[in-house]
Structure 1
Amino acid sequence: MLEFDLLATEGHARRGRLRLNHGVVETPIFMPVGTYGTVKGVSARSLHEMGAQIILGNTFHLWMRPGLDVMQQFGGLHRFEGWHKPILTDSGGFQVWSLGEMRKISEEGVKFASPVNGDRLFLTPEVSMQIQTVLDSDIVMQFDECTPYETKGHITTEAEARKSMELSLRWARRCQAEFARLENRNALFGIVQGGMFENLREASLEALVEMNFPGYAVGGVSVGEPKDEMLRIMAHTPHRLPAHKPRYLMGVGTPEDLVEGVAQGVDMFDCVMPTRNARNGHLFTRFGDLRLRNARYKTDERPIDPTCRCMACAGEPGTGVGAVSRAYLHHLDRCGEMLGPMLTTIHNLHYYLNLMQEVRDALDAGRFEAFRAQFKADRAVGLQT
């Protein structure tokens, strides 16, 4: 099931509401990434408390471990990980792309060796739909080929991007057929490909719209291309997708990318950046980024961000649990204590989710452009000090 209501617009920016089998999602939204059935170091309760509405699972990795027999025993991913809100699963296409020379792509699918035990495996559009049906994800992504920006220093040509895009379209039709055969009652999204070529993006988009998917994603960005190239495609494609269906920009990105993506008509985002960066001491704040491993923070008594209300920055008033300082987090990082990345991950995710809440509030009030300008000013001031 998928129902999408468009509640407000300002330019290309949209405020919406997405109803799925496991709950309602207010958009625009950021979706934390849970590769192995967990957002690293963060409990389902913490995700709920910080305002997460929908999270991701990784089809490829869950197929490898724990495997479909375990998923079937639990009736899907929701019960297995104790998260009973919506889940989106990717198709496995990006992970196959990241295997590089370890995989062989054909019309039928992709052959590769399991990175877990070396078994020879064959992932096809049909198999991807079968895995995601067992996972019972609310949003299922079509199996596609993620078109690279470059390979071994060779920048992908228009002819190469077209060949890849057309293969993804053929796979999209096979995904639809298998999804229907399996009688999956969730929602299948098509993925617009075409590399850095606007004409290919438009051809992909038009063909997918004819297939009448419940929602659409823009894939093949943030895969090594220069930032201005990514922004060019982000400005070109999302607002051309059907207005009455949700739009998802895959794998993007920085806080600035999210706000710019909303301005270009995107409803849904995901990225490993807030969690991965947190584990490496790179924290996001309203006034710029903080590199926790810098020696200047060894004695810094301030919280990560004094305007933030996450557990790390504000504690839990009335419980005897207070905020933690930058100095304390710097110490935890230096000592390799697991509490450090847990707290920094909570902060970064809270920042991203709160940013999306502020975007939704601005759209509700008809002041998104004013919010966008203030957001840029605040972040710029921090980065200069």
Structure 2
Amino acid sequence: MANTEQNSFDLHGDEEIIEVIDLNDTEATPDDLADDLEDVDFGEPSAAYNDEGWETEDEMEAEAEQDDSEMTFSRHTGSVFCVSLDPATNSLAVTGGEDDKAYVWRVSDGHVVFECTGHKDSVTCAMFSHDSSLVASGDMSGMIKVWKVETKQEIWSFQVGDLEWLEWHPYAPVLLAGTDDGNVWMWKIPGGDCKTFQSSSCQATSGKILPDGKRAVVGYEDGTVRLWDLKQGNTIHVIKGQDGHKGALTCLACSKDGSLVLTGSVDGRAKLVNTAAGKVVGVFSLEGGKATGRRDEDESNSVESVGFCNILPLIAVAYLDGTLAIYDLSTQVLRHSCRHETGIVHLQWEESSSVVSTCSLDGALRQWDARSGYMVSEYRGHAAEILDFTMNREATLAVTASGDNQAKVFCLQRPDR
């Protein structure tokens, strides 16, 4: 375990002089930012039904056996909670599970490249660094480990409080984590120089580094949203009270240029925040009943996932009742409501199209055209809920993690390709 101390960065240390990031430099490139952070002081029944509208036993069995995946990874012995693809080649995946295990494995054949050993609780966070050279794994107890992919060796570890989320910096070997005690930690890897961002004692439930690499947005259990300056370690904006949420933050997303942040909460609302002004500029919520069954009047329709479309002024909000809502960003009007039979767990927009993908509690991966609101593809194969998924930049490959103890690789094909 690395022996580090909080706030141990020294701007004027004897060993080196730290170059200060110019926050007013709008011409900085990703490489510049990476260099800077190296020195930061840290309708109708279908044919599947019989005449009475019920599925026959044979039809139900056939549906259960349907598997559209190209490959299944079955090394986990408990639910698989998280999955990440290496961004450089998309040839490797890392998964973490309830069995206290994390594996790095080849997408082509499921071969285990190495196991991230040493965890003693469920691994809920596992992801590659921006250049795919490192992989981080974190368990619920707060044990975080970093591995060098090339050598398959552990190069750093640290113990924090109960872990809520983990996030790599988009340009540099810098790792952020949010914990149950409300702290946000930042480390420079592998040196381990440490900085903490302290706030209230409630959980830091979600976090995201903005595209400029200089700020991070963090959501808390009490509904507060804070925008942090990663260099100075202070809050730039705090959104709370009437402007904040009425319940814990569940998810965050930021626009491609970082000017807007979308927040989701158990209070059933998504809020649009201008990051420069720190002001809420839009509120999105659904009215009405649940997709299936009934919901008590006081039960919140939690927002489970949010995201921005990269090519159109659209956002997507996924709800616990199975509704995928597509909103027009400029008018803030609901454009399409795409219904699922069960709750949605996660959504992800394709990098260069108007298609958004969802995974849900029924074990299916679906793709939706945000222009029309129609489903364009559906992929099945899991025997339980999908808990996480990720896609490559070309949106031709998806890897899913499920409660059936498996991860699956799907080749994504659509009529327009």
Mark yes or no: TM-score above 0.5: no
Q: TM-score with structure 2 length normalisation?
A: 0.26
Q: TM-score with structure 1 length normalisation?
A: 0.27
Greater helix proportion: 1
